[in-house]
A and B are shown apart, each in its own frame.
Chain A
Amino acid sequence: MSNNISYNELVIKFANVNGSGSASANTFCAKSLYRMGIPISAKNIFPSNIQGLPTWYEITVSESERLARKENIDIMVAMNAQTYASDLNEVISGGTFIYDNSIRRSFDRDDINIIGIPIAKLCAEEYSDSRQRQLFKNIVYLGSLSLLIGIDIDVIEKLLADQFKTKQNLLDANINALNIGRKYVMENIDYPLNKQVRKCNKNSNKIMLNGNEAAALGALYGGATVASWYPITPSTSLVEAFEKHANKLRKTEDGHLNAAIIQAEDELSAIGMAIGANWNGSRAFTATSGPGISLMSEFLGLAYFAEIPLVLFDIQRGGPSTGMPTRTQQSDILSCAYASHGDTKHMILLPADPNECFEFGYKSFDYAELFQTPIMVLSDLDIGMNDWVVDEFSWDPEYKHNRGKLVSADDIENLKSFARYRDVDGDGIPYRTIPATHPEYGSYFTRGTSHTDTGGYTESGVIHAEMLDRISKKFETSKEMLPQPIININSPKSKIGIINYGSTTVALNDAIAQLSSNGIGVNHLRIRSFPFAKSIKDFINDHDFIFILEQNRDAQMKKLLVSEENLDVSKLISVLNYDGMPLTANFIVDNITESLNNNKNIKAANSPPIKIV
């Protein structure tokens, strides 16, 4: 098997039973590869279940940084007999299928390398405790795999040592299990395989983490003090990470906490608490997923109309209804943009990876106070719960948190008058006080009913309409202040543009590179916020055909663009995926190529093919 060895370009997939302890072994594998300096991306494909259902973990290894998911698997570590048949089919011709041959099986493929390792037997011989027999199976296959593909054993051992710092007996037991797997391969298997990994030096300024933890750290850096939430996959780990890090970074000397984290009775209460805390001058947030957005909608309308800052992290999952709680989608775009009854509209940030979750995590609190309105950070399960290798965090020591037009006691004494909802500066953004600002000045009545510029109740249609128009003006102001789109003009003469947002960026980057090598040059714009920056419409106007890549059925971002920017629909072509899985590059390339072949107009625009310079 040692001929034509290739390095650092492969896909490894683990097929397991959930609840069997495989998640940590698979993560050890991914992290070891990261520590070897190799670009990787890892996807955990797990069920909405505690124990017994199939679960998979994919690691795409690519020194050339083509890190999108791929359809074909080079090495399948098949540890779940329930899914052998489908797992076997996914292996690329010439690839390897590793299974536990404690019970021998025959597999109907002669174009791949099938390796049997009697993992259950090895563990039964080594361990008497049934729990240990189960758990260490995972470490045994990791040991075997490390020898088969060349994962540096020192790196794995160092990782385990870091993991089990204070638990020497656990560390010893894990290393023992690793060696059982390695020893078996050494004595019984023809190794190494033709797909190998080796150290390179691409991760020195990279970190490996998931977007929820990054967003939680962003919230800590953003000065959030109140987190109110209701558990829902895939957002739960965000608040749990906030709590974990707050307990380290926000403890006072006398053992108190400079934060309050409260698990509410439901999503309505969770957002109500966050609104109450923001109203009273704390930076507060909630985190939820699609069903929670539905429940929070009434309160979102209140915060919009009464102009209360709020940060909401929506970690999108597969909908509608309960949908696919453990799969990824971008299907809350419209329900977030226009959440709640009446004329409402909300500011949205769209991070593409954990690094941006951190950045938008802290900036969202500034935006919320600057514009005195809810800021929704729309991440998704893929970003939120998968481990990504991204640029390390940086912090500008000069960064000053911007609390917007929050009036202090001193300021208010110098003001000639205070009217909570008056547009003094012409940007649509009024001045704001919090309770107890001043004994005599600055108090007002916050309400969801129509109000005058001093906060008084009104049923005047004129005043009501003026209030709605003034709030619209804030949204105009925000367009050039929220995170601007990232634009890549790869091919200045190309008439074809692709627009995307969020987690599809990795797959799209791969796809653009592939299209380019196929002679199709496309320009790219990534939307990072709503209301839309002016440059988005300019980009659309500059191209004859615009592909819009989304992970939902109904082309939600396209609809939002069309309705908000008054666009010609005929030049917009949707590329839609809604099976709940992170995208592959081929999916994008195939869709775009097919459109190009089928549409005469596009063909003409792309003829002769535009080469990327």
Chain B
Amino acid sequence: MTFIKKPIFRHPSLPTNAIGLTYRDYEGVVSTLCAGCGHDSITASIIDACFELSLPAHKIAKLSGIGCSSKTPNYFLNNAHGFNSVHGRMPSVATGANLANRDLTYIGVSGDGDTASIGLGQYCHAIRRQLNLTYIVENNGTYGLTKGQFSATNDKNSKNKRGMDNPFGSIDLAVIAIELGAGFVARSFSGDKEQLVPLIKAALEYDGFALIDVISPCVTFNNHGYSTKSYDYIREHRSVFGDLDFVPEEETINTSYAEGETISLKLHNGREINFKKLGDDHDPTNQHKVINTLRENRAEGKVTTGLLYIDPNKSDLHQTLKTSNTPLNALPMDDLCPGNDFIDNINNLFR
């Protein structure tokens, strides 16, 4: 797609959210990804989620690594600072940024190559530390920018565009996240905005590491008949865990679900997540059961989507490190520098 400038014109009757902003205020520059790319749908869902939550865009930092997916932070939230870092290293940059200012909302966008291959180490350690980050993997099972090599999330024996078999097993990022203690783990499909937007909203409001592994078909290299990450394949093989309804603090709980079918989870910060169970009796707070169900579904060739796992009581990195409540980047130099008053004491330590 050619790169064009978006017109600044706004229709006067565009709906506004609670802080008086329109959907357009949450947009970025025009995407340069291929027409029909799943990633652009995810971008739209991120914009929807931020708009609906009435988040001030400038208090969000959006970070990414390298790859098609990692280009997308440029396509949403123009008023937020963005950081397209190096391949597979977004988690460390996000960790540093988060340490500097605990008050912002952090969105990390990565791909399956960026996370499951070159960045697997940083991914795991960011989870271990309970970094307060919404980590969205735009998972298309292929290396797009280098033209169609298999990625580590591609299923064994699935084929590439040229009909070659993938000889190696795949890495399930959601299972790894649950195993390593992530507090919020979800999987979705770029083509299902109704499921994805509430998941992103809930993840953004979750204080801790929140993974959303979004299957996002690559229309150019991995949307053919032999792919297990194509639009058709995912639509046919989805197993949905349940409907999610995210309730921001100031709203009343949506009670459209019948009693007994809905699990209501209260987060640290007062926000509430309603999870509507489906027939499979999924309990998103039971780590062991979740992992078992994911494995069983997978063995049957099903891709499980929805809120897979949540622990509402995790401590995030700042709580663990006991960093000051004031963001570190807001502390004045005069407070940080011990100054002349302490220089004698310090010298005396070394006499």
Knowing A280-B329, A281-B101, A435-B97 are in contact, say whether A272-B89 is a contact too (CB < 8 A).
yes
The answer to whether B337 and A276 have CB atoms under 8 Å apart is no
Residues on A with beta carbons closer than 8 Å to the beta carbon of B346: 217, 393
The answer to whether A282 and B92 have CB atoms under 8 Å apart is no
Which of A109-117, A220-228, A376-384 binds B?
A220-228
State the CA gap A475–B151 with chains docked (Å).
Answer: 41
Knowing A259-B323, A272-B92 are in contact, say whether A282-B347 is a contact too (CB < 8 A).
no
The answer to whether A436 and B101 have CB atoms under 8 Å apart is yes
State the CA gap A436–B61 with chains docked (Å).
Answer: 8
Knowing A393-B346, A446-B82 are in contact, say whether A277-B100 is a contact too (CB < 8 A).
yes
Q: Does B338 contact A (CB under 8 A)?
A: yes
State the CA gap A510–B311 with chains docked (Å).
Answer: 66
Identify the interface centre among B83, B85, B318, B342: most chain A CB within 10 Å of its CB: B83
Closest Cβ of chain A to B322, distance in Å, is 5
The answer to whether B80 and A222 have CB atoms under 8 Å apart is no
Q: Does B146 contact A (CB under 8 A)?
A: no
Q: Does B94 contact A (CB under 8 A)?
A: yes
Q: Does B235 contact A (CB under 8 A)?
A: no
Of all chain B residues, the one with the shortest Cβ separation from A209 is B350
Q: Does A278 contact B (CB under 8 A)?
A: yes
State the CA gap A254–B325 with chains docked (Å).
Answer: 10
The answer to whether A298 and B96 have CB atoms under 8 Å apart is no
Closest Cβ of chain B to A311, distance in Å, is 13
Residues on A with beta carbons closer than 8 Å to the beta carbon of B80: 435, 443
Of all chain A residues, the one with the shortest Cβ separation from B73 is A445
A223's partner among B56, B57, B333 (CB-CB below 8 A) is B333
| Chain B, 265-280, CB within 8 A of any chain A CB | none
Residues on B with beta carbons closer than 8 Å to the beta carbon of A278: 96, 100
Residues on A with beta carbons closer than 8 Å to the beta carbon of B59: 435-436
B81's partner among A256, A403, A440, A443 (CB-CB below 8 A) is A443
Residues on B with beta carbons closer than 8 Å to the beta carbon of A257: 321-324
| Chain A, 351-405, CB within 8 A of any chain B CB | 362, 392-397, 400-401, 403
Knowing A276-B95, A284-B100 are in contact, say whether A448-B84 is a contact too (CB < 8 A).
yes
Residues on B with beta carbons closer than 8 Å to the beta carbon of A261: 321
State the CA gap A418–B125 with chains docked (Å).
Answer: 36
Knowing A225-B100, A436-B58, A439-B56 are in contact, say whether A262-B331 is a contact too (CB < 8 A).
no
The answer to whether A276 and B101 have CB atoms under 8 Å apart is no
One digit per residue, 1 when the CB lies within 8 angstroms of any chain A CB and 0 when it does not, for chain B 127-150 equals 001000000000000000000000
Of all chain A residues, the one with the shortest Cβ separation from B60 is A435
Of all chain B residues, the one with the shortest Cβ separation from A398 is B340
Q: Does B328 contact A (CB under 8 A)?
A: yes
One digit per residue, 1 when the CB lies within 8 angstroms of any chain B CB and 0 when it does not, for chain A 248-270 equals 01101011111111101110111
Of all chain B residues, the one with the shortest Cβ separation from A245 is B346
Knowing A221-B338, A250-B336, A272-B89 are in contact, say whether A260-B321 is a contact too (CB < 8 A).
yes
Q: Does A511 contact B (CB under 8 A)?
A: no
Q: Does B259 contact A (CB under 8 A)?
A: no
Closest Cβ of chain A to B336, distance in Å, is 4
The answer to whether B84 and A260 have CB atoms under 8 Å apart is no
Identify the interface centre among B58, B94, B98, B129: most chain A CB within 10 Å of its CB: B58
The answer to whether A207 and B324 have CB atoms under 8 Å apart is no
The answer to whether B86 and A302 have CB atoms under 8 Å apart is yes
Q: Does A195 contact B (CB under 8 A)?
A: no
The answer to whether B100 and A255 have CB atoms under 8 Å apart is no
Q: Does B79 contact A (CB under 8 A)?
A: yes
| Chain A, 283-342, CB within 8 A of any chain B CB | 284, 298-299, 302
Residues on B with beta carbons closer than 8 Å to the beta carbon of A268: 89, 92, 122
Of all chain A residues, the one with the shortest Cβ separation from B96 is A276
Knowing A256-B323, A266-B121 are in contact, say whether A443-B93 is a contact too (CB < 8 A).
no
Residues on A with beta carbons closer than 8 Å to the beta carbon of B85: 272, 275, 302, 446, 448
Of all chain A residues, the one with the shortest Cβ separation from B325 is A256
The answer to whether A401 and B337 have CB atoms under 8 Å apart is yes
State the CA gap A298–B343 with chains docked (Å).
Answer: 38
Knowing A279-B93, A401-B333, A434-B81 are in contact, say whether A226-B100 is a contact too (CB < 8 A).
yes
One digit per residue, 1 when the CB lies within 8 angstroms of any chain B CB and 0 when it does not, for chain A 411-444 equals 0000000000000000000000111111110011
The answer to whether B92 and A264 have CB atoms under 8 Å apart is yes
Of all chain B residues, the one with the shortest Cβ separation from A220 is B338
Q: Does A496 contact B (CB under 8 A)?
A: no
The answer to whether A276 and B97 have CB atoms under 8 Å apart is yes
The answer to whether A282 and B323 have CB atoms under 8 Å apart is no
Residues on B with beta carbons closer than 8 Å to the beta carbon of A403: 333
Of all chain A residues, the one with the shortest Cβ separation from B321 is A260
Residues on A with beta carbons closer than 8 Å to the beta carbon of B73: 445
Q: Does A274 contact B (CB under 8 A)?
A: yes
State the CA gap A217–B342 with chains docked (Å).
Answer: 11
The answer to whether A280 and B92 have CB atoms under 8 Å apart is no
State the CA gap A401–B326 with chains docked (Å).
Answer: 20
Q: Does B33 contact A (CB under 8 A)?
A: no
State the CA gap A558–B31 with chains docked (Å).
Answer: 49
The answer to whether B324 and A228 have CB atoms under 8 Å apart is no
State the CA gap A222–B338 with chains docked (Å).
Answer: 9
The answer to whether A258 and B336 have CB atoms under 8 Å apart is yes
Q: Does B166 contact A (CB under 8 A)?
A: no
State the CA gap A534–B61 with chains docked (Å).
Answer: 42
Residues on B with beta carbons closer than 8 Å to the beta carbon of A277: 96-97, 99-100, 328-329
State the CA gap A284–B351 with chains docked (Å).
Answer: 29
The answer to whether A272 and B100 have CB atoms under 8 Å apart is no
Closest Cβ of chain B to A289, distance in Å, is 19
State the CA gap A427–B337 with chains docked (Å).
Answer: 29
The answer to whether A443 and B336 have CB atoms under 8 Å apart is no
Q: Does A537 contact B (CB under 8 A)?
A: no
Q: Does A273 contact B (CB under 8 A)?
A: yes
Q: Does A191 contact B (CB under 8 A)?
A: no
Q: Does A508 contact B (CB under 8 A)?
A: no
| Chain A, 75-89, CB within 8 A of any chain B CB | none
Q: Does A457 contact B (CB under 8 A)?
A: yes
The answer to whether B96 and A279 have CB atoms under 8 Å apart is yes
Residues on A with beta carbons closer than 8 Å to the beta carbon of B92: 228, 264, 268-273, 276
Q: Does A35 contact B (CB under 8 A)?
A: yes
Residues on B with beta carbons closer than 8 Å to the beta carbon of A222: 337
The answer to whether A445 and B82 have CB atoms under 8 Å apart is yes
Q: Does B74 contact A (CB under 8 A)?
A: yes
State the CA gap A271–B59 with chains docked (Å).
Answer: 24
State the CA gap A435–B59 with chains docked (Å).
Answer: 7
State the CA gap A440–B79 with chains docked (Å).
Answer: 6
Q: Does A93 contact B (CB under 8 A)?
A: no
Closest Cβ of chain B to A238, distance in Å, is 16
Residues on B with beta carbons closer than 8 Å to the beta carbon of A444: 81-82
One digit per residue, 1 when the CB lies within 8 angstroms of any chain A CB and 0 when it does not, for chain B 87-125 equals 001011111111111011000000000000000011011
The 3 A-B pairs with the shortest beta carbon distances in the complex, nearest first, are A276-B96, A272-B92, A282-B100
A-B contact pairs, 29 of them (CB 8 A): A221-B337, A225-B336, A226-B328, A228-B92, A228-B96, A260-B328, A262-B95, A262-B99, A265-B122, A265-B125, A269-B125, A272-B86, A272-B89, A273-B96, A273-B99, A276-B94, A276-B98, A278-B96, A279-B100, A284-B100, A298-B86, A362-B337, A393-B343, A401-B333, A434-B81, A436-B81, A443-B58, A443-B81, A446-B83
A-B contact sample (14 more), CB < 8 A, given A273-B96, A281-B101, A302-B85: A223-B333, A225-B331, A228-B96, A258-B324, A258-B336, A272-B91, A272-B92, A276-B98, A277-B328, A279-B93, A280-B61, A284-B99, A392-B350, A397-B339
